[in-house]
């Protein structure tokens, strides 16, 4: 579980820095959320801390809190915008556990009843569709925030 990488070579840090493209759903001081480019389902979102860490084991506790609270708002937005039967939150630590990008991230995956449980997509999403979904979820997040999203 020592898959440490240099933040300058990290694809998610590059998205944070604007050096690589990302279909961004929302961001705040500590977190960034964007569409997974190999989605398991429509609306598959990744939430990351902007500060680089490898996974749960070395993550800053304040960043972890910020990510899970952000994930709650985004999960509500997914529910409102896409009405899935459920939403999976997944997070993998170490290559042996299936982690492929070594910058901590939480998967939010809309799920339908009876579907096989999968964490990794098999084919890339269409860029235009990912952009549409990012915009739709972005609006739904804004609506959640405006509503206070406490209940
Ligand atoms: P994990 O196996 O939990 O490390 O998952 C990494 C996830 O990152 C996979 O679902 C990939 O499809 C996704 N991913 C990899 N590169 C990018 C990227 N440039 N933009 C968005 N998602 C990505
Ligand atoms: Zn990184």
Q: In 51-98, which residue ranges form alpha helices assigned H by DSSP?
A: 61-82
Please give all residues whose beta carbon lies within 6 A of any atom in ligand 1, as ranges: 11, 20, 22, 34, 36-38, 46, 92, 98-101, 120-121
Is residue 100 in some structural domain? yes
| Domain total in the chain | 1
Helix (H, G, I), strand (E, B) or coil at 3: coil
Tell me the per-residue pLDDT of 35-84, one tens digit each, with 9 for 90 and over.
999 999 999 999 999 999 999 999 999 999 999 999 999 999 999 999 99
Asked if residue 5 belongs to a domain, the reply is no
Residue 140 maps to a domain: yes
Domain that holds residue 58: 11-144
Query: Contact at 8 Å (CB) between 51 and 63?
Result: yes
Predicted confidence (pLDDT) at residue 34 exceeds the cutoff of 80: yes
Q: Per DSSP, what are the bridge partners of residue 34? A: 24, 46
pLDDT digit string (tens) for 84-134?
Answer: 999 999 999 999 999 999 999 999 999 999 999 889 999 999 999 999 999
Strands (DSSP E) along 5-138, which ranges?
Answer: 24-27, 31-35, 45-49, 86-90, 106-111
105 in active site:
yes
Q: Is pLDDT of 18 > 60?
A: yes
Question: Residue 3 — pLDDT band, cuts 50, 70, 90?
Answer: confident
Q: Give phi and psi for 70, each to the nearest 5.
A: -65, -40
Is residue 35 assigned to a domain?
yes
Tell me the whole-structure pTM to 2 decimals.
0.96
Which residue, 45, 59, 7, 27, is CA-closest to 125? 45
Indicate which CATH number applies to the domain containing 38.
Answer: 3.30.428.10
Of 23, 103, 105, 107, which one is the catalytic site residue? 105
Average pLDDT, integer, range 30-37: 98
- Terminal CA-to-CA distance of the chain, rounded, Å? 38
Contact present, 26 and 33 (Cβ < 8 Å): yes
150 assigned to some structural domain: no
């Amino acid at each position: 579980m020592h898959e440490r990488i240099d933040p300058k070579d990290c694809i998610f840090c590059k998205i944070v820095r604007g050096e690589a493209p990302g279909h961004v759903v929302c961001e705040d001081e500590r977190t960034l959320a964007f569409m997974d480019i190999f989605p398991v389902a429509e609306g598959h979102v990744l939430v990351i801390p902007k500060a680089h860490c490898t996974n749960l084991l070395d993550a800053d506790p304040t960043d972890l809190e910020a990510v899970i609270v952000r994930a709650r708002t985004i999960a509500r937005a997914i529910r409102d915008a896409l009405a899935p039967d459920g939403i999976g939150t997944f997070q993998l630590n170490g290559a042996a556990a299936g982690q492929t990008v070594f910058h901590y991230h939480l998967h939010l995956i809309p799920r339908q009843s009876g579907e096989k449980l999968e964490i990794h997509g098999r084919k890339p999403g269409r860029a235009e569709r990912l952009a549409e979904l990012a915009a739709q979820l972005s609006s739904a997040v804004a609506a959640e925030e405006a509503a206070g999203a406490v209940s």
